[in-house]
Every structure is written in C-alpha cells, then in structure tokens.
C-alpha cells in the first residue's frame, strides 16, 4: 500500500502537468513483461536543448547505463525508456541490444544513434526483447505529444502502485519557466547518485555544463536522501532536460535568476523523491529522519542513512513499537568520531526519548506509542556537535515487502 497525505489517494496524486515547449513524449505497449499498459517511452528534445544526467554508482551497472554515458556528450535529442526488463547482467549482448535500440530510434527519426540515451528498468539477467521494442517504436513516435506526461509516468512503472509527477512554474525576468518531473521507483531504492529512473524537463535556456551542476546539486538533496530497502540498483539514472524554448533570458552561474531556478529544480526532485518513499514496496509508514547539530552535512547524512537502512528500526516502525534502543544503536554505529553520548538527544515527533546518555526522564511508553501509531513520523537526532543538518526519508518494512520481492519474477 502507498502512504498518502490526508485527503490524497493514488487516483488524485498525479497533478495536471502543463506541456514543456519543445519536449514531446510518446508511449507504446511492447509487451515486454505484461500487455495491460504501455511499457515504452520515447522523449524528443529540440536542437536547442541541453541535457544533463547522473547514473548509478553500482559497479555492476546495466548496459543502457554504459551506453547512455557514452552518448551523453553528443547533444542528445532522444530518450528511449523501457520497463519490464533491466538489460542488466546481460554481458556484451546487452550492450549490443542497447545500441541496436538506439539505432532503431535514429533510423525512425532521422537522427544519429549516439543522440539517443537508452534507459531500462525491470528484471535483471534476462535478454532485452529488442524485436518487441523495435516493433513498438513507430507507435511511440506517432504518439509524441507535449502533454503526454501522465502516460509517460505510467509507462516507466514496475512495482510502483501509482504514477509519480510534479510540476512547478517560476518567473525569470518576468518570463514564465516551467519544470516538470516524473519518476519511477518503489523497491531497490538506496540511491548513490540518483535513484530509480527520473526524468525532469524545463523550457529554460541554460548551458549543458551549468545544467549538469544544477542536477548534481539537486540530486544530492533529494534522490540521494531517500532509502526504501538499502539496495542500490544497477540501472539508476536521473536526467534533466532544458529545451531552451522559454522567452526568459539564458541562466548564468552565480546569478539570482539561476539560484531561483536551481531551488525550483531541487523542490521538484524533493517532491518526486518523497513520492517514491510513499510508494515503497509494502510501505505503511513514511518516516522523516532529521539529523541536527552535526559537525558537517556529510556526518548528518551518514547518521540519517544509517537509521534509514536499519531493518530493525524499519520493522519496529511497521509494528508501531517504540523500541527506541534500535534507533540509538543505529546512531552509535554511524561512524561519528568522538561522539559525546551525553549530548545526543532523540525525539519521536515532539516526544523526547533519549537525553543525557539514556532514556529521557519525562519519557513515557504511552507518549512514544501515540507517535508510533501515526502513518507519518519524524525522528529527530540532535548530536550536539555543530550547526550542520540533513534530512533523510525512508519507510517501514512490512510483510508485503517480503512477499512482493519474493514473487518479483513470477
């Protein structure tokens, strides 16, 4: 089940995303793993576009990641995404298959194969059914439309229970700039660069190098601050496209206009990242981990991630058990040098559970239980060491998580 804010459900979570001038999206059903919905996405960009991307740090990265990295410096004009098959762990044949798919897009669109970035998500270790994909490409091409954001979000889903999309509009020198984003992900989520698959587009005018800097900074505070199960995928990728079709002036580094744009991109990615955690496989609770008073941002993030990755913490939250010792143990093994245990404070929402090296004097099991019974919970860790702070999002581990992943290939 997905964890939604009050008043929202999977039918209302996807907003109305406006079209981005110059960015068109087309989908088709290739029948890769199922035939009930589209599983191919084709995205086109104009010649004026800039394109930035970040990819998984998993050493066993998938064939499309390898090919996309090779093609990224060559002014990409097309993205090709398939769900249902990861094309990972497929050796040289996987690379050949990814390159073949790029060549098919190039042949169909009159572009160069190296201007196509391929992305795949799904089962690892199975050959990519290239004939099915090639057969579906003309349909996806014919369906290209600037308004097909929801169709695109659905086409890239695997175990997701709902399509994920976010949009934000800002004003740059009196001109409107739009930022749209879609993402997929519910399991194998412990990003180490980006996560899942995420595609964000804007009509802003911005150079490729600055766009890459913008993406890296936004990913660091969004997709790299979430965890569902501690597994980094072989296929993770995040793309930021700028069509250059807005009438706003070109964004330049160190300008107020760029800062405004970068903040908006980060906001879109943070919302997408939260939607992924809300849709965590089998999740029943959304858990925010706020680490404060750390020496550095890296230290704060490390403590937050250690708590987020703990199966014992996550199962306690599923059981609504205020077993604060598990949280304390996670903080203790996060690798913080010379930690003063007497300065550490832990909170469940507004309830102080640990201070002065042990259970808080005013803490009661009833107060802890009240918080643990909620669907959304904030853990606050105050290290008492400095002024740095970071937030990490995670979810609980339920029986359904085991069931979903035990049956993933059936």
Rounded Cα distance, 164 and 4, in Å:
12
Please give the helix or strand (H or E) that residue 348 lies within, else none: strand 345-348
- Give the max Cα distance, the chain: 71
* Given 27, 178, 195, 380, the catalytic residue: 195
In sequence order, the 6+-apart residues with CB closer than 8 A to the CB of 8 are: none
Q: Which position has the token pair 């230290």?
A: 299
Whether 65 and 232 have beta carbons less than 8 Å apart is answered as no
**Helix ranges (DSSP H) in 35-190:** 63-71, 91-109, 130-142, 149-155
Cα-flanking dihedrals φ and ψ of residue 283, to 5°? -65, 140
Q: Which position has the token pair 């979570």?
A: 13
In sequence order, the 6+-apart residues with CB closer than 8 A to the CB of 134 are: 100, 101, 104
Please give the helix or strand (H or E) that residue 44 lies within, else none: strand 40-44
Sign, Cα dihedral of 40, 41, 47, 51: negative
- Where b means 16+ CB within 10 Å and e means fewer, 334-352 reads bebeebeeeebbbbbbebb
Q: Is 195 a catalytic residue?
A: yes
Q: How far apart are the first and last CA of the chain?
A: 20
Whether 172 and 264 have beta carbons less than 8 Å apart is answered as no
Catalytic center residues: 195
């Amino acid at each position: 089940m997905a964890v939604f804010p009050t008043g929202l459900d999977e039918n209302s979570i996807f907003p109305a995303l406006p079209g981005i001038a110059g960015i068109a999206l087309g989908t088709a059903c290739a029948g890769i793993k199922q035939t009930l919905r589209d599983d191919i996405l084709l995205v086109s960009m104009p010649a004026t576009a800039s394109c930035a991307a970040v990819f998984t740090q998993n050493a066993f990265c998938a064939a499309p990641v390898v090919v996309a990295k090779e093609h990224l410096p060559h002014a990409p004009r097309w993205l090709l995404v398939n769900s249902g098959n990861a094309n990972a762990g497929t050796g040289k044949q996987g690379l050949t298959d990814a390159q073949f798919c790029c060549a098919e897009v190039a042949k169909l669109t009159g572009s160069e194969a190296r201007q196509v970035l391929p992305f795949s998500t799904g089962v690892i270790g199975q050959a990519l059914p290239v004939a099915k994909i090639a057969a579906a490409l003309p349909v996806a091409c014919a369906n290209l439309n600037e308004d097909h954001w929801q169709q695109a979000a659905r086409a890239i889903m695997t175990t997701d229970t709902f399509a994920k999309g976010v949009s934000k509009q800002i004003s740059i020198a009196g001109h409107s700039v739009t930022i749209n984003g879609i993402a997929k992900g519910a399991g194998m989520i412990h990003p180490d660069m980006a996560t899942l698959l995420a595609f964000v587009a804007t009509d802003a005018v911005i150079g490729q190098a600055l766009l890459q800097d913008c993406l890296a900074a936004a990913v660091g505070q969004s997709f790299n601050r979430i965890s569902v199960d501690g597994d980094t995928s072989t296929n993770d990728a995040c793309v930021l496209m700028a069509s250059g079709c807005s009438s706003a002036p070109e964004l330049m580094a160190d300008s107020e206009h760029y800062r405004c744009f970068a903040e908006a991109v980060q906001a879109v990615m943070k919302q997408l990242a939260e939607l992924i955690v809300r849709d965590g496989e089998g999740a029943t609770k959304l858990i925010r981990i706020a680490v404060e008073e750390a020496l550095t941002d890296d230290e704060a993030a490390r403590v937050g991630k250690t708590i987020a990755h703990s199966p014992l913490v996550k199962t306690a939250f599923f059981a609504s058990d205020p077993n604060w010792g598990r949280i304390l143990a996670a903080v203790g093994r996060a690798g913080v040098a010379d930690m003063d245990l007497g300065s550490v404070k832990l909170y469940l929402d507004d309830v102080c559970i640990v201070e002065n090296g042990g259970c808080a004097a005013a803490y009661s099991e009833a107060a802890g239980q009240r918080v643990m019974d909620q669907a959304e919970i904030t853990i606050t860790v105050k290290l008492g060491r400095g002024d740095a702070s970071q937030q990490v999002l995670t979810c609980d581990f339920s029986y359904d998580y085991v069931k979903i992943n035990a049956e993933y290939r059936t």
